[in-house]
Amino acid sequence: MNRGTLMRTYAFLALVAVTFAACADSSRLAYGDANSIIAAMDPGVWDEVRDDVYAALEPRIQTVRAEKTFTVTYQDPSGSDWTNLRRFRQMLVAGTADDPWMKQALELARTEVTGPGLYRAYDVWARGQQATIVLAEPGTVAAEVRRHASEINEMLDEQYREYARSRMYMTGADTALADTLMRTARFQLIVPNVYRWTRQDSLYTFRNDNPDPAELIRQIAVTWRSPVPEGIQGEDILAWRAQVSESYGEPQDVDLSDVAAGQFEYQGQAAYQIQATWKNPPALDWPAAGPFITRAIICGQQDRMYLLDAWLYAPGKEKYEYMIQLETILDSFRCGPG
């Protein structure tokens, strides 16, 4: 196909997009997990790009183990299962304007098509669906997929983070509690309404153990020291965390074999973060473990150093969504005036 014919094809697809939009069965809901991706393209192209796609779209984060943020499953769009699998919640489709699956995707996408490139579309084959479309000229599909791989990962990750945050605040954000904390304790934290909170002197604890603490616990503790201690290091922060964790009901040891730690700036203040794994001591009768994020944040106007400790217990569950939720709550921290 020469370039003139190709551009006429793109124009035609853009023209008929609205006409064919009604062909989508809007009564059908998308299915599948929000972090599971169906990748659809020609089998020959997939053989060329599979390793690049896996590397870009299945990055690992450290929870209790190295956990994939997304799971990619390849599907031949000319196969017999395509009619059902194209209704998956997260789709990645790639090909040329002449490929049947691409023609249909572009016709139903309700988006302007201007030529080869990366497009995002919603509700293509089902309601609640998000489709990432890579359109290429003949012979360049693999190169186009590789060129956009990092951008696709960033786009999907941001979509997933928004999904995780929306689910977390389905019960609403407890802004009344945030105001109370600022007024009485001079710091603010925004947690969902479903969280319970307790106070013991200067230790504030926020906990969500629904539906069952044997299945899922998300907890954040906040406390402080004043005046700001000098020369505090990572070991000092972990020792401080160990003191705070004595109030958690069960003792927590820390496993630093896959620790990620370092300084950062938070709201213009000096801060330090440690992310690693907690686990029950060997002497306990039952094993338990999970990831934790501990932050030490200096609020100079109050002459305080805050300790924020967020930890998760989710045995047998994928943890990335819950880690995003805990990070979102930690990011909501604000310290008030002196």
Do 84 and 183 lie in one domain? The reply is no
Q: Give the number of domains in the chain.
A: 2
Do 156 and 111 lie in one domain? The reply is yes
Cis peptide before 138 (omega within 30 of 0): no
Residues 70-108 as b/e (b if ≥16 CB within 10 A, e otherwise) read bebebbebeeeebeebbbbbbbbbbbbbebebbbbbbbb
Q: How far apart are CA 319 and CA 63, in angstroms?
A: 7
Last residue of a domain, one of 114, 141, 167: 167
Three-class secondary structure of residue 192 per DSSP: strand
Mean pLDDT value of segment 283-306: 92
What pLDDT band is residue 93 in, cutting at 50, 70 and 90? very high
Q: What are the phi and psi torsion angles at 121 (to 5°)?
A: -140, 160
Do 195 and 290 lie in one domain? The reply is yes
> For residues 328 and 168, is the Cβ–Cβ distance under 8 A?
yes
What pLDDT band is residue 26 in, cutting at 50, 70 and 90? very low
**284 DSSP β-pair partners:** none
Encoded tokens for 228: 């700001």
Instruction: Give the per-residue pLDDT at 25.
Output: 53
Mean pLDDT value of segment 238-255: 94
Do 137 and 267 lie in one domain? The reply is no
Do 44 and 138 lie in one domain? The reply is yes
Q: How far apart are CA 56 and CA 78, in angstroms?
A: 25
Do 156 and 212 lie in one domain? The reply is no
Do 158 and 177 lie in one domain? The reply is no
* Residues of the domain holding 51: 3-167
DSSP string, 38-98: EEE--HHHHHHHHHHHHHHH--EEESSSEEES-EEEEE-TTSTTHHHHTTBSEEEEEE-TT
Instruction: Give the per-residue pLDDT at 124.
Output: 94
Q: How far apart are CA 140 and CA 112, in angstroms?
A: 21
Instruction: Give the per-residue pLDDT at 112.
Output: 87
Do 231 and 294 lie in one domain? The reply is yes
pLDDT tops 60 at residue 7 = no
Last residue of a domain, one of 113, 135, 167: 167
What pLDDT band is residue 9 in, cutting at 50, 70 and 90? very low
Q: How far apart are CA 153 and CA 50, in angstroms?
A: 14
Do 125 and 246 lie in one domain? The reply is no
Do 224 and 157 lie in one domain? The reply is no
User: For 42-76, how does the pLDDT look when each residue is reduced to its tens digit (9 = 90+)?
Assistant: 999 999 999 999 999 999 988 888 889 999 999 99
* Low-confidence winner among 85-94, 239-248, 285-294, 309-318 (lowest mean pLDDT): 285-294
Q: What is the CATH number of the domain that holds 177?
A: 3.40.1000.10
Mean pLDDT value of segment 23-52: 88
User: For 177-230, how does the pLDDT look when each residue is reduced to its tens digit (9 = 90+)?
Assistant: 999 999 999 999 999 999 999 999 999 999 999 989 999 999 999 999 999 999
Do 148 and 243 lie in one domain? The reply is no
Q: What is the CATH number of the domain that holds 33?
A: 3.30.379
User: For 131-184, how does the pLDDT look when each residue is reduced to its tens digit (9 = 90+)?
Assistant: 999 999 999 999 999 999 999 999 999 999 999 999 999 999 999 999 999 999
Mean pLDDT value of segment 17-22: 40
> For residues 243 and 234, is the Cβ–Cβ distance under 8 A?
no
Do 331 and 219 lie in one domain? The reply is yes
CA distances to 121, 170, 177, 302 from 293, in Å: 35, 23, 22, 23
Instruction: Give the per-residue pLDDT at 5.
Output: 43
- Helical ranges in the chain per DSSP H: 3-21, 43-57, 82-85, 100-108, 141-168, 175-185, 234-245, 320-331
Last residue of a domain, one of 149, 167, 185: 167
Encoded tokens for 322: 């819950």
Cis peptide before 43 (omega within 30 of 0): no
